Copies of this chain bind each other. A is one copy, B any other.
Amino acid sequence: MKFNIKDVAQKAGVSISTVSRVVNNSKPVKPKTRDKVLDAIEELGYRPNAIARSLKIKHTKSIGIMTPDIANQFYPEVVRGIEDVANMYEYTIFLCNTDLNEEKELQYFAELEEKQIDGMIFMGNHVSDELHNEMKSAGIPVVLIGGRAEDIPSVTIDNEKAAQEAVEFLLKRGHSRIGVITGKMKDPMMGQARLKGYRNALEANKIPVEEELIVEGGYRYKSGYEGAKKLMLLNEPPSAIFVCSDEMAIGASRAILEDGFRIPQDVAIMGFDNVDISGKVYPSLSTIGQPMYEMGAIAMRLITKILHQESIGASDVVLDYEVIEREST
């Protein structure tokens, strides 16, 4: 049996307003009547209906998260970061998987907007024009993680600079013939920016960029595996490879080991992300550490700040990365 505020009021012999007042602690209530109400609540096992409440007060304490695929190594950690601070502020989160599909992004956005979410955190490699419109017109705070879009707060790292440091790290270790397995080139951050960093590093060190050393990957294991195979088949294979995601780097390591090369003696591998597993595999992966948990936590914190109209300083927050040296270099 499900009871509502009216039942409680009846049972306690008071009006529904006073029940509301004790439930929300919103106005003083005489201790005695408060106790009566509390007893009634207890006895009936009353649970307030948050939907009805939301309808009235016009917010839901729910926020949406759109992630390309929670089953990918990178996202669970940031979602955890989001959820922890969401929970702290008593928000609860809707999770959506978009598969980077614009249709799905749009459809989910509409769905969540109808459900009156108070805010939304978006991860994806690009905000389409249509989605951008939706975001602007929805009238709720949106923050991006790992990407940028006009007029929308974001939390990122400096991918270009990080990538540059990654290959400079390799350069300093004496490598001069360095391959790269990139992200998808249509992805501005994971694709373009990181490749740009690679080029920067070589140019800054007066090393000519050879196109044959650049192979386009994606994000997943398989493309890393294939990319490395390709690279090692070159007449003059690289002595080090900068792989633009850890998952690909693990694939690349496997390919290299299979081909009978040693890591890092024959070829060094530098990853990107510092996904949980990268320190645990053998050989453990040197990589660029992205503060995934923090990115999520900060994004969510941003949302709460906007919601509470605390001034938010710079609305594009750029977090520090770190270069992590492990066994693969």
Q: Which residues of A contact B (CB under 8 A)?
A: 2, 45, 47-52, 54-55, 60, 62, 65, 69-73, 75-77, 79-80, 83-84, 87, 90, 92-97, 108, 110-116, 137, 139, 221, 247, 250-251, 253-254, 257, 276-277, 280-283, 293
Contacts and interface: CB of A to CB of B under 8 A. Distances in A.
Given A70-B80, A71-B77, A47 B276 contact: no
A83 B60 contact: no
Given A70-B70, A281-B282, 19 more contacts: A47-B113, A49-B114, A49-B116, A50-B114, A51-B55, A51-B116, A69-B80, A71-B80, A83-B95, A83-B96, A83-B97, A90-B111, A92-B96, A92-B112, A94-B94, A221-B280, A250-B277, A251-B280, A257-B282
Contacts of A139: 2
Nearest to A116: B51
Contacts of A76: 70-72, 75-76
A76 B95 CA distance: 11
Contacts of A45: 137
In this complex, the member of A137, A276, A282 whose beta carbon has the largest number of chain B beta carbons within 10 angstroms is: A282
Contacts of A276: 71, 73
Contacts of A283: 282
20 contacts: A49-B55, A49-B116, A50-B114, A51-B51, A51-B54, A51-B60, A55-B55, A60-B115, A69-B80, A71-B79, A71-B80, A83-B96, A90-B111, A92-B96, A247-B280, A251-B280, A254-B280, A257-B282, A281-B281, A282-B283
Nearest to A221: B280
A54 B53 CA distance: 12
B277 A62 contact: no
